[in-house]
Amino acid sequence: MNKETKTMNLFERQLTLWVGLCIIGGILLGKVAPGVAKTLDGMAVYVGGAPVVSIPIAICLFFMMYPIMVKIDFASVVRVGRSGKPVLLTLFVNWAIKPFTMYAISLFFLGTLLRGFIGAESLDWVKIPFGLDLPLGAEHGAGTVVLHDGVKMLQIPLWRSYLAGCILLGVAPCTAMVLVWGNLARGNDALTLVMVAINSLTMLVLYGVLGGFLLGVGRLPVPWQALLLSIAIYVALPLVTGYLSRRWIIAAKGEQWFKEKFLRRLNPIPIAALLLTLVLLFSFKGEVIAANPLTILWIAIPLFLQTILIFVLGYGLAKVLKLSYEDAAPSALIGASNHFEVAIATAVMLFGLSSGAALATVVGVLIEVPLMLMLVGFCKRTPHWFDGHLRSERQTEKYHDNETQPASAGGKNEMKL
């Protein structure tokens, strides 16, 4: 292993420290220079009045994902797609388990255990559900139609509004950042890509059905534009760019130069972009954090426990199914993480920008990156739990750092996916 790779591994080992510094730096930036943070936060693509794609965050995500995409031998993606067990495990956990455990855990903590801390009598005002024209004083579900700031709104208990935001996170499994988590965990990038594609298609069918059922408002209106736009920008753009540039560079410079020179120079970019993303996210929400520290804590508790539960369930089932570590890690991580962009867009569309539901989805953003990095670290410490772990331990470094080795005859240095 060369000096550059050793330096990179040392940097990864101290990633928790850097994450903490970036979170603190982001909050301070939001407090010290709120105008800068507000300007950056306002640079977004809007759909239906809701910010769906943050342009600064989209740029960071591109630089996080492009180095991952360009490493993948896309011919192997077809072969990986035939691996039934990891894909079925992901679908089972994401759609048959995760939405319902999120509902149950959030209801228990927000509606029972923490209700007194939130304020049993605290109220929130949200938009009246689509298609309903209710008179003042009418009751709908747990709410009452009232006039709030001159607009007819549905007055509901505040904890129920937080619950709605948690539900929206639970029915929106990750279809973008999991590529970063799987890559950092030394997982099978090609398998992760296949699962992201399948998850994205499944969301188009089940997101509205499950979300509407759990929210109790019938069929939840699906933000199709928001969903398709976020998938296109966060996944499809780096995917297509990586595929085309890989082909062009290998054709122009040769496979050896591609692996030994080009890929090696990309090594530090994903983590640097990840840390910059943290600074941006926490600077955008610095005011919210300062104004609602305890509220954020109460919402974060069920989200934290849900994430841990789904990860443990996915990781444990992967072991029961005798998956390799490279397949088990992304299978567990994709269920644990959330597609917070779509959840936020839906919360704003359904309940309003200032609603408790929208705040709950923002809390999901705030805890997602630090928590997922913790789970990535756990994965990297436990490959020996899985069959063939000796092969995994020998190959994961080669799998990720193959660009530092000379290409050999027969393509032995190609990523074995």
**Residues 386, 325: Cα–Cα separation, whole Å:** 6
In a domain, 260, yes or no: yes
- Average pLDDT of the chain is 77
Largest distance between two CA atoms of the chain:
77
**Res 219 pLDDT > 60:** no
- CATH number where 222 lies: 1.20.1530.20
Residue 47, pLDDT score: 61
> Is 274 within a domain?
yes
Decide: residue 13, CB within 10 A, 0-12 exposed, 13-18 middle, 19+ buried. Answer: exposed
Give residue 226's pLDDT: 60
What distance in Å separates the CA atoms of residue 285 and residue 129, rounded to the nearest whole number?
27
pLDDT band at 230 (very low <50, low <70, confident <90, very high): low
Which SS3 state, helix, strand or coil, does residue 98 take? helix
Could you tell me the pTM of the whole model? Answer: 0.73
For residue 310, give both structure tokens: 């789904």
CA atoms of 355 and 147, how far apart (whole Å):
16
How does pLDDT run across 311-332, given as a tens digit for each residue? 999 999 999 999 999 999 999 9
Q: Is residue 201 part of a domain?
A: yes
Residues whose CB falls within 8 Å of the CB of residue 197, separated by 6 or more in sequence, listed in order: none
User: C-alpha 57: how far from its chain's center?
Assistant: 13
On whether the CB atoms of residues 167 and 215 are closer than 8 A, the answer is: yes
Whether 33 has a pLDDT exceeding 70, the answer reads yes
Distance CA 247, CA 249 (A): 6
Task: For residue 53, tell me if it sits in a domain.
Answer: yes
DSSP letters spanning 141-176:
TTEEEEEETTEEEEEEEHHHHHHHHHHHHHT-B-SS
Q: Which domain holds residue 168?
A: 3-112+162-405
Residue 142 within a domain: no
Tokens of 85: 């067990």
291 within a domain of the structure (yes/no): yes
Higher pLDDT, 285 or 189: 189
At 413 the pLDDT is 40
Q: In angstroms, what is the C-alpha Rg of the chain?
A: 22
CB 304 within 8 A of CB 112: no
DSSP secondary structure letter of residue 185: T
What's the whole-number mean pLDDT along residues 339-363? 77
> What is the C-alpha separation between 281 and 43, in angstroms, rounded?
13
Q: Nearest Cα to 342, choosing from 126, 181, 168, 95?
A: 168
pLDDT digits (tens, 9 = 90+) for 389-405: 544 444 444 444 444 44
Residue 83, in any domain of the structure: yes
Instruction: Tell me the three state secondary structure of residue 292.
Output: coil
Query: Has residue 144 been placed in a domain?
Result: no
Residue 305 has a pLDDT of: 96
The Cα 43–Cα 84 span in angstroms is 41
Residue 148 Cα distances to 123, 125, 143, 145, 347, angstroms: 12, 7, 13, 9, 19
Confidence label for 236 from pLDDT (cuts 50, 70 and 90): confident
DSSP 8-class letter at 411: G
Report the C-alpha gap between 308 and 328 in whole angstroms: 15
Percent of the chain with pLDDT over 70: 77
**Number of domains composing the chain:** 1
Residue 392 has what pLDDT? Answer: 45
Q: Which residues contact 106 (CB under 8 A, 6 or more apart)?
A: 162, 163, 166, 167, 170, 302, 303, 306
